[in-house]
Amino acid sequence: SDENLAIQAKNEMRLQSNAYTNKTTFLYNDLSAGGSVKENVTGNYEVKILKSTSTFSVNSDGDIRTRAAGCRYEKVDGNLLTNVGGKIKTQVDGGNVSCINGGAFDAMISSPDSNAYKLNVSGTIDQQASGDVKINASGTVDIDGTEIYLN
């Protein structure tokens, strides 16, 4: 249509096809009256933002949950900034889970380490706490450094 086009269905509207291409300048889905969105995808799902000054934002008044039966990859070429208003808890079981090969971005870590938890930093680590700092290990605590200061 060269002009506006509206489709209004009182109950349900179905579209079934082999392929669906939507090329538009602006897309707005309004589900503020209620309802939800669910997508079942058998293949890959990719969102690519082509403008380097644009952002991808998820804003929730509730919880955000993600689950991967395999591995989760994340690569940030800039800084990673996280603000937490509550608490952080991380549990690492150290299991050996096979990841799907291929698809990693350039210079991205694409396989786990032999250690259950490994942190490599090419600068200074500064940890500050207004309370106690506890380190518990059922094995050896090994601290290596050219100089170690205990105050």
DSSP state of 104: P
Q: What is the residue-averaged pLDDT of the chain?
A: 91
CB atoms within 10 A of CB 112: 15
Round to whole Å and give the CA distance between 139 and 136: 9
pLDDT single digits (tens) 21-48:
999 999 999 999 988 999 999 988 889 9
Distances in whole angstroms, Cα of residue 83 to Cα of each of 80, 86, 87, 88, 129: 10, 9, 10, 11, 15
pLDDT single digits (tens) 48-62:
999 999 999 999 999
Decide if pLDDT at 130 tops 80: yes
